[in-house]
Amino acid sequence: MVGHPDRVEDPAGDAHESVEVGGEPSALAQIKLMKFPGVLLFISAPRGNTPSLGGNHGTTVEFLTFKVKDLKASLAKWKAAGIEPMKEFKDVTLLGPDDVQVRIIEDKNLSVPIAADGLVMNSANAAEVSAWYAKWFGATLSRSGSDTVGDIPGARIVFHETKDPIAPMKGHSFALLGFEVKDLPAFVKKYQDAGGKFDGTGAISTSTSANLSVIQLTDPWGTSIEVSQGLAAVK
């Protein structure tokens, strides 16, 4: 299994700002997306007639994280484009127009100007949540200060334990976390055999034109997840 948070869906997103911070427009058949090294960002109009509940603050996924090769140069570039860090955070954090929080760290060993790092996940019980992601998506667990870290090929999840209320992702502008696997039917069978339930009809959806198959589930704490096979074709 290849498991990595390879994409996020942002129904209220701004493609222009994604380009300004280093994204590259791409597509898979008719599916429009924004590509960064290590992550695919799907930007779509809100689904249905329900207004968005807003950004990701206070939901199960608190921050997307990106690495940049030169933080000073990146900040200068973003400032010139009208993008400045949020003042309420000590760590460099950008806020998209859809209120999605993006944390930035510097890695001078990067071979590209910007790349995906992973995400920060809120949890009431980090040990329990991280064990679930280790079981189903192959996260290798370690500790970093007071946080548990799950390393998955291509990305990492920081499981941050908090006593604050945590809302599910559904209905927010950062709506969906994605994992790509090598064999989706095998994943589905294994998950169902263990008693796991999928969203909706529980059936795999396949786009022949995109050569892409997906299925959605919600983890026990309210994180909406789409598991796919076929996105590896997007280079």
CATH of residue 213: 3.10.180.10
Quick one: pLDDT band at residue 30, thresholds 50, 70, 90? Answer: low
Mean pLDDT of 226-234: 82
Count of alpha carbons within 13 Å of 203, Cβ hemisphere only? 3
Answer with the residue of higher pLDDT: 38 or 224. 224
Q: 51-55, 102-106, 141-145, 192-196 — which is least confidently predicted?
A: 51-55
Task: Quote the CA–CA distance of 57 and 128 in Å, as a whole number.
Answer: 21
Q: Mind listing the pLDDT tens digit for each residue in 116-156?
A: 899 999 999 999 999 999 999 999 999 999 899 999 987 89
Place of tokens 């603050």: 57
**Terminal Cα-to-Cα distance of the chain (whole angstroms):** 19
Q: Provide the residue type at 40 as one letter.
A: L
Task: Quote the CA–CA distance of 85 and 79 in Å, as a whole number.
Answer: 9
What pTM, to 2 d.p., does this model score?
0.83
Domain that holds residue 11: 5-233
User: Which has the closest alpha carbon to 139: 125, 153, 159, 160?
Assistant: 153
Mean pLDDT of 11-26: 55
Quick one: pLDDT band at residue 174, thresholds 50, 70, 90? Answer: confident
SS3 state of residue 12: coil
Mean pLDDT computed over every residue of the chain:
85
Q: Is the pLDDT of residue 39 over 90?
A: no
Strands 147-152 and 140-144: antiparallel
Task: Quote the CA–CA distance of 224 and 56 in Å, as a whole number.
Answer: 12
Return the structure tokens found at 51.
């207004």
Model pLDDT, residue 28: 63
Cα 194 from chain centroid (whole Å) = 25
Task: Quote the CA–CA distance of 93 and 63 in Å, as a whole number.
Answer: 9
Task: Quote the CA–CA distance of 21 and 233 in Å, as a whole number.
Answer: 24
**What's the number of domains the chain is made of?**
1
